[in-house]
Amino acid sequence: MKQKIKLVITGGSGFIGSQLVRIALDKNYVVMNIDKLSYCSNHTKFSHKNLIFKKLDLFDGINLNKALKKFNPDAIIHCAAESHVDNSIKNPNIFIDSNITSTVNILNFLRKTKKEIKYIHISTDEVFGSLKKNDKKFNLSSKYDPQSPYAASKAGSDFFVRSFGNTYNIKYSITNCSNNYGPYQYPEKLIPLTIIKCIQKKKIPVYGNGKNVREWIFVKDHCEAIIKILKKKYPKKTYLIGSKNEKKNIDIVYAICDYFTAKHKNFNYRSLITFVKDRKGHDFRYSIDYTQTSNNLKWKPKSSFSKSLEETIKFYVENYQKLKKIFPYEKKNNYIW
């Protein structure tokens, strides 16, 4: 009988990580989810015969090493990270601890173990900086030019992965992905926050003039690409994961508002939009050329943006009360709920 693959997913209670956990279990992997359960974690208790949950801060290198050594994984997908740019502007040190030091702790385990373990490092397109309106998309030749403390912390962790891979021959892959959206995303990000504010009929904050451009990928499409990378035998590669769905922030907000207005014709939800002082160092545009990734993995995003956005809106509407329990920290300080 073929032995089941043992997979560690860090941040497996986060937005992308929790999607990966479900997919991996469906594919009959034995999964250890390592998560410290921060304010943006999904606190739903999820049980499965092939799932082990370990509450642990990756900054704790000693106990992380013990947990990894005991589980003895065949592969590690490192999703855990502080990811909200606003928070990085307020307190950069937290992002150094969570995104750089915690990554190095995993790499130290990998360099010391005798077993060959595949390592997939989940990063972001923000490491490449900001594009102007007519600039070419980010590609594998794009230079790193991070513009926020968050982006700098992710860029730093990427560099540590490559340097450890080179120095200690660690078998790694790095993914730089565009903005994710979908069910269960913590409502501090643009799409879920706008949906929640529409449900509540409260003001929707939009930075600056709302014309900053982002490329959006449905989280399921992103996770399918990651699983394909997991099955690849070729180490030390970088994969750019995108979707061709470039949208202005304000157009995303308009689309969500118009959905609610169509359902409740007695109220114009666009009236909730409130333009606020722009974020410091706000990147103008992100866009990814994922041609090489698509060819290498035989992968491309399947989701229609409009249909997936509608699916996401319906999820938050139908599960609004449930989400208050899933994300209890926000219920406590009433920031969103």
CA gap 5, 60 in Å, rounded: 26
Residue identified by tokens 């509450």 is: 55
Are the C-beta atoms of 138 and 147 separated by less than 8 Å? no
CA gap 154, 95 in Å, rounded: 9
Residue identified by tokens 């739903």 is: 44
Q: CA distances (Å), 298 to each of 139, 229, 301, in order?
A: 18, 10, 11
Can you read off the two tokens belonging to residue 131? 């594009």
End-to-end alpha-carbon separation of the chain, Å? 49
User: Could you confirm whether 318 is annotated as catalytic?
Assistant: no
Q: Which of 35, 57, 82, 125 is catalytic?
A: 125
Please enumerate in sequence order all residues whose Cβ is within 8 A of that of 170, keeping only pairs 6 or more positions apart, or say none: 107, 110, 111, 119, 161, 164
The one-letter amino acid at 124? T
CA gap 189, 202 in Å, rounded: 16
Are the C-beta atoms of 176 and 241 separated by less than 8 Å? yes
Can you read off the two tokens belonging to residue 215? 């490329």
Opening angle at CA 254, ends 250 and 257, nearest 5: 135
User: Could you confirm whether 310 is annotated as catalytic?
Assistant: no
Q: Which of 35, 57, 82, 126 is catalytic?
A: 126
Q: Which of 29, 82, 119, 150 is catalytic?
A: 150
Helix locations, 232-280, DSSP H:
249-263
User: Could you confirm whether 150 is annotated as catalytic?
Assistant: yes
Can you read off the two tokens belonging to residue 69? 């050594």
Residue 285 DSSP code: B
Which residues are marked as active site?
125-126, 150
